[in-house]
Amino acid sequence: MKNALKKIFLILRSFYYSLKYRLELGQGVKIKKILIRNNYNIKIGDFSFIDDFVILNAGSSAGKIIIGENSFIGAFSLLDGSGGLTIGNHVMIATHVRVVAANHNFDNINMPMKQQGLTTKGIMIENDVWIGTGAVILDGVKVGKGSVIAANSVVTKDVPDYSVVAGVPSKIIKKRQ
């Protein structure tokens, strides 16, 4: 009985978020306690699960976050889609992961960095990717299908399909076969 009530509560909470924040939610989406900022264009695919204290920030009206089907976003993660963030199907994102699709400009030393604006290229995470705890994925990166990002890695460049990357900055340490 207790598990059934938990499932019903998760479904009701997901429905509440979809109404309050105008999210597009697929069938069977489960959302725990999360923070949504700048909810202009956020879509979550069927049977995906968003764990506690995740922050979803679509940025400006030009930003977006699209999460595919059967994907998992771990607790305390930040997904910033200011430049566009697309996450494929069957993606596992562990806890405390930061994915930030924007970067501050800082070239002009005669102007405060805060006033120099942003560049936004976007981030694409393809299907069947596993991103380990504490990893950081920065703007302009494409993470290829079937790849693994090791815990606490900082991804600054594209990751080819079926690669395992680790380190700061991340480097390919092996290929999955």
Give the catalytic positions in this structure.
104
Complete DSSP assignment for 5-62: HHHHHHHHHHHHHHHHH--EE-TT-EE-S-EEES-SSEEE-TT-EE-TT-EEE--STT
- Bridge partners of 160, per DSSP, are none
Dihedral (C-alpha) 124, 125, 127, 133: value to the nearest 10 degrees?
-170
3-state SS assignment for residue 119: strand
3-state SS assignment for residue 145: coil
Both tokens assigned to 52: 């506690």
